[in-house]
Chain A
Amino acid sequence: MDRSSHSRSRRLAPVVAVAAAAALTLAGCSSSSGGKKAEEGGSDASAGKANTPRMTVALVTHQSPGDTFWDIVRKGAEAAAAKDNIKLIYSSDPNAGNQANLVQNAVDQKVDGIAITLAKPDAMKDVVSKAGAAKIPVVGLNSGVSDWKKLGLLEFFGQDEGVAGEAFGKKLNEVGAKKAVCVIQEQGNIGLTQRCDGVKKTFSGTTETLYVNGTDMPSVKSTITAKLKQDSAIDYVVTLGAPYALTAVQSAGDAGSKAKVATFDLNNQLTSAIKKGDIQFAVDQQPYLQGYLAIDSLWLYKNNGNYSGGGEQPVLTGPAFVDKSNVDQVAQFAAKGTR
């Protein structure tokens, strides 16, 4: 014991020295460009606060951890909650069974409203009817545009992935594409598959599908490069998420291919890539709006009995195209991470 504590303190000495040296050098090594200092200050959209009684709403999604897209949905939901005097409980799990458990958890907590995504509608059927039995209003968002009514949800906010894909295909016709490759970053995801199917439906050229491993960027990059080399006739790469679009641009460069890149979904870096012309256009389903409207609608229902879409039609938040003509306007919001 004695010996080990002795040697430990001796071992600690270099660590302390390194830490001290690092702290000293940190001060003298600042970057003259970029970084936090160059970042523009911006405030979130906020519009006062309602004086209605405090209510609790649960938002349960099928987000996998660390996805930029869901982060924006959540920010929209938080903005609506702050405005409407709502306590927002956010939870998520990509596994459908676990997501259903999280909804059950919200029902047990006797919340005033639940907003859910229906990535796998059948798995949610039971818990949604339990919420109905407990007289808790349930609204849907993002995925499940064809199932929300069957499950008895109050209203739905999202993008019909098939419709978005079809609009994307038409846009490809407009820009004169001949052969496109649709890059799917998660094999077996229904929404992503529907997008590619929609593109296939309306695009008059040929569409091929390519699966990549979405959790490993170097692998995404080399797989797209390989595809572009294998088939030099490809003139458009269609990605289904913003980070993959930026990688596809590098792949096209590596492969020496003239293929252009267009994508579903948006983020901050993507808007600057559109400005530069690296990426031709993006389809935005306005995730912020989905989160915001879902929470706001529960507040309206509770306090004024309203429901959007008249209980018949979904409220579509996309597809909204972003290209060089309107990117400047979108970019200022994307920079804040809300668009």
Chain B
Amino acid sequence: MSMTQQAEPAVGRPPASGPRATDGRTTRRPLVLRLLARPEVGVFLGAVAVLIFFLIAAPSLRQGSSMATVLYQSSTIGIMALPVALLMIGGEFDLSSGVAVISSALTASMLSYQLTLNVWMGVIVALIVSLAVGAFNGWMVVKTGLPSFLVTLGTFLILQGANLAVTKLVTGNVATDDISNMDGFDQAKKIFASSVDIGGVEVKITVFYWLAFAAIATWVLLRTKYGNWIFAVGGNKESARAVGVPVNFTKITLFMLVGFGAWFIGMHNLFSFNTVQSGEGVGQELIYIAAAVIGGCLLTGGSGSAIGPVFGAFMFGMVNQGIVFAGWNPDWFKAFLGVMLLGAVLINLWVQRTATRR
């Protein structure tokens, strides 16, 4: 307030124009600060900092093919981090997302193998199963009103046990059989797990899906009614309902979106590695959530973006692979990872604070 009072005499504006002048609340702050206040900009700067750091520390990272490796790792996290972020903006968690990936891959693999079907049948049934798991999560959350943390913790344990028990029951082993010589496999591999040659660099197809999904998610969040609903149900469920937002529909479909993501990554795992081990996936859910939170999504819901998690996942992949490219003592690997992530989050926080300070 005092700023405007001081500014007036300095500029020597006639008092008549006083009422038209903007007061402190609506003063347009400098563009840089306004930009920095966006949820995804902090993480963008953090990601750039990490990238520059490793480009200096790891000479072998400075080639296109190395970058493609980093992007590949980032994309397999990032594709899941997107729906997880949308769900988080909608005010809910999904702890079952890591094992749901493996459930989907197991379903497709075992169904195709045991019934000797074209693998596309397995892929379609796996999609139905994954969406059903998501719908179940969502339905339980909206019907019972229990925290999604608890509901999906239950699903997490159920899926983890079922993955193992059903695989063992059906195949007699704890990993699925190799389906790489079955009909439709090559076709599906092209779609889910192939590489694209860009200027002599083999880039995994998941990278393109990742960016495409992020673009779609951004458009949905910012330009559609459904996007508004997501922010509304995450911000305040009751007022959202009061103004006519279909809260239950929005939440259930958000959970189903996570199911879709789990299916997609599950299919990628299956078609790039031919078999699936039933014990995999545990702990991945936290990495997805971490990527979303680093990407500026609030743990409490109602705020966030789809671009932020893209950089969050990139940061995770970059640190993960950067340590290897830099050739640091591997015994410290996890500690390095933790320090880098914490550092990146702090940069993110600092930028946000600086930008929103008046």
> Which A residues contact B (CB, under 8 angstroms)?
18, 22, 25-26, 29-39, 64-68, 70-71, 187, 208-211, 215-219, 221-223, 225-227, 229-231, 243, 246-247, 250, 254-256, 267-269, 272, 337
Give the segment of B20-28, B170-178, B217-225, B291-299 that binds chain A.
B170-178
Q: Nearest chain B CB to A82's CB is how many angstroms away?
A: 15
Q: A31-B117, A33-B183, A215-B284 are in contact. Are A68 and B333 (CB under 8 A)?
A: no
Q: Nearest chain A CB to B106's CB is how many angstroms away?
A: 10
Residues in B262-314 with C-beta less than 8 Å from chain A: 268-269, 272-275, 277-284, 287
Q: Residue B325 contacts which of A208, A226, A256, A268 (CB distance < 8 angstroms)?
A: A226
State whether the Cβ of B194 lies closer than 8 Å to any Cβ in chain A.
Answer: no
Contact B73 A218 (CB under 8 A): yes
Q: Nearest chain A CB to B251's CB is how many angstroms away?
A: 16
Q: Residue A267 contacts which of B58, B113, B175 (CB distance < 8 angstroms)?
A: B175
- Which chain B positions have C-beta within 8 A of A37? 116
With A37-B116, A226-B70, A337-B172 given, name 7 new contacts (CB 8 A). Answer: A31-B118, A34-B178, A35-B114, A215-B282, A215-B283, A216-B280, A219-B320
Contact B115 A36 (CB under 8 A): yes
Q: Nearest chain A CB to B92's CB is how many angstroms away?
A: 21
Q: Residue A68 contacts which of B60, B120, B175, B320 (CB distance < 8 angstroms)?
A: B175
Q: Nearest chain A CB to B31's CB is how many angstroms away?
A: 38
Contact B125 A36 (CB under 8 A): no
- Which chain A positions have C-beta within 8 A of B212? none
- Which chain A positions have C-beta within 8 A of B72? 218, 221-222
Alpha-carbon separation in the docked complex, A278 to B131 (Å):
37
What are 22 A-B contacts defined by CB distance under 8 Å? Answer: A22-B128, A25-B121, A29-B117, A29-B118, A30-B117, A34-B116, A36-B115, A66-B280, A67-B174, A187-B334, A215-B281, A221-B272, A222-B317, A223-B320, A223-B324, A226-B70, A227-B324, A229-B63, A230-B324, A250-B272, A255-B69, A267-B175
Contact A26 B121 (CB under 8 A): yes
State whether the Cβ of B321 lies closer than 8 Å to any Cβ in chain A.
Answer: yes
Q: Nearest chain A CB to B58's CB is how many angstroms away?
A: 7
State whether the Cβ of B65 lies closer than 8 Å to any Cβ in chain A.
Answer: yes
Closest residue of A by beta carbon distance from B178 = A269
C-beta contact mask, B148-187 vs A, less than 8 Å → 1, else 0? Answer: 0000000000001001100110001111011111111000
State whether the Cβ of B50 lies closer than 8 Å to any Cβ in chain A.
Answer: no
Contact A246 B177 (CB under 8 A): no
Alpha-carbon separation in the docked complex, A39 to B116 (Å):
10
Size of the chain B interface, CB-CB below 8 angstroms: 67
Alpha-carbon separation in the docked complex, A123 to B66 (Å):
44
Q: Residue B269 contacts which of A33, A35, A217 (CB distance < 8 angstroms)?
A: A217
- Which chain B positions have C-beta within 8 A of A39? 177
Q: Nearest chain B CB to A31's CB is how many angstroms away?
A: 4
Contact B320 A31 (CB under 8 A): no
Contact B121 A243 (CB under 8 A): no
Alpha-carbon separation in the docked complex, A209 to B320 (Å):
15
**Most B Cβ at <10 Å: residue of A68, A208, A256:** A68
Contact A33 B182 (CB under 8 A): yes
- Which chain B positions have C-beta within 8 A of A246? 273-274
State whether the Cβ of B107 lies closer than 8 Å to any Cβ in chain A.
Answer: no
Closest residue of B by beta carbon distance from A209 = B330
State whether the Cβ of B112 lies closer than 8 Å to any Cβ in chain A.
Answer: yes
Contact B117 A226 (CB under 8 A): no
Contact A66 B117 (CB under 8 A): no
Q: A31-B118, A229-B60 are in contact. Are A67 and B327 (CB under 8 A)?
A: no
Contact A22 B125 (CB under 8 A): yes
Q: Nearest chain B CB to A337's CB is how many angstroms away?
A: 5
Alpha-carbon separation in the docked complex, A250 to B168 (Å):
27
Alpha-carbon separation in the docked complex, A33 to B119 (Å):
11
Q: A26-B117, A215-B281, A226-B321 are in contact. Are A33 and B181 (CB under 8 A)?
A: yes
Alpha-carbon separation in the docked complex, A137 to B49 (Å):
60
Contact A66 B277 (CB under 8 A): yes
A-B residue pairs, 10 tightest by C-beta = A66-B279, A35-B116, A34-B182, A31-B183, A34-B181, A222-B73, A66-B278, A218-B76, A226-B324, A31-B182
- Which chain B positions have C-beta within 8 A of A226? 66, 69-70, 321, 324-325
Closest residue of A by beta carbon distance from B316 = A219
Contact A210 B279 (CB under 8 A): no
Q: Nearest chain A CB to B77's CB is how many angstroms away?
A: 8
Alpha-carbon separation in the docked complex, A209 to B128 (Å):
42
- Which chain B positions have C-beta within 8 A of A65? 160, 164, 278-279
- Which chain A positions have C-beta within 8 A of B277? 66-68, 217, 243
- Which chain B positions have C-beta within 8 A of A217? 269, 272-273, 277, 280
Q: Residue A71 contacts which of B174, B330, B334 (CB distance < 8 angstroms)?
A: B174
Alpha-carbon separation in the docked complex, A223 to B324 (Å):
7
Alpha-carbon separation in the docked complex, A67 to B175 (Å):
8
Alpha-carbon separation in the docked complex, A211 to B66 (Å):
18
- Which chain B positions have C-beta within 8 A of A64? 279
Contact A254 B202 (CB under 8 A): yes
Q: Nearest chain B CB to A252's CB is how many angstroms away?
A: 13
Contact A30 B116 (CB under 8 A): yes
Contact A223 B173 (CB under 8 A): no
Q: Nearest chain B CB to A339's CB is how many angstroms away?
A: 12
- Which chain A positions have C-beta within 8 A of B116? 30-31, 34-38
